[in-house]
Amino acid sequence: MFKGSIVALITPMREDGSLDEPAVARFAEWQIAQGSQGLVPAGTTGESPTLTHAEHQRVIEIVVEAADGRVPVIAGAGSNSTAEAISLVSHARRAGADGVMVVTPYYNKPSQEGLFLHYSAIADAADLPLIIYNIPSRSVIDMSVETMARLARHPNIVGVKDATANLSRPLHTRRACGEDFVQLSGEDHTVVPFLAAGGHGCISVTANVAPRQCAAIHQAWTDGRVADAIALQDELVVLHDAMFCESNPGPVKFGASLLGHTSDHCRLPLAPISEAARARVRAAMTETRLLN
């Protein structure tokens, strides 16, 4: 259903911080042309916490229109309010998205039972494939494999974006949820070992600036060229490091600005990245032949 190199899209903005709708469409088109196998608009890399609801919805509509069925669009639709998440998922369905990604509720710190009830209510309310986004480093809470297995029984809950960086997790998840439960890495550094542990793909930040290279890793793996996949991943380590040298999406948005796709503007409370970070991003993009 969802597999390969899927990009967690930045949201292009003008220098004044306003949404750049034409750039959103052009960026989605470029990603598809470069080989990305799926698009995730309005996730946290897309600055969903600081998009208005109208902007959030518009970004999804633009990306769905640009994709035009060529690759799946998994709309960001998470919230720490269950009712708000249901509203976002309902809009994504109306907009024509192929699925939704719903992050574990931040700040509230629900119990495992609360997580189960939250996702069950969302999945019951909207008829779209739902990807659970488990990212303890940002949400504080960690969905257990046992809770995920309970949720995997719901026909609309089809997989997980796993940003735990715990490479034993996909092994246990596959055992508990079955081989058809879609497992997508949320950590660019772990792509090849995650695939080896039973993963199906990656929702990538780095693919915003290196979509062709990220897609090539997955193609090599699919073709059985394991050594090539490892070599390609090794080449990108310096770039992955740079993309996370400060809070995401600051570095990757600066990188995308160097390629001419957007300004480097991120909305407060994200500050402009430091000069040292800028130099590091530029150097990594030069080393990986993204810049001359």
Helix (H) / strand (E) element for 120: namely: helix 112-125
> Rounded to 5 degrees, what angle do the CA atoms 60, 44, 250 make?
115
In the numeric block, the tokens 């208005």 are attached to 52
Q: Could you please report the per-residue DSSP string of 260-271?
A: TSS-----TTSP
CA-nearest of 131, 147, 95 to 203 is: 131
In the numeric block, the tokens 């960026």 are attached to 27
Catalytic one of 3, 119, 161, 253: 161
C-alpha to C-alpha distance for 205 and 200, rounded to whole angstroms: 17
Strand partners, 111: none
Catalytic one of 106, 107, 109, 133: 133
Tell me if 105 sits within 8 A of 115, measured CB to CB.
yes
| 109: annotated active-site residue | no
C-alpha to C-alpha distance for 173 and 160, rounded to whole angstroms: 9
Residue 6 tokens read as: 């899927």
What residues act catalytically? 133, 161
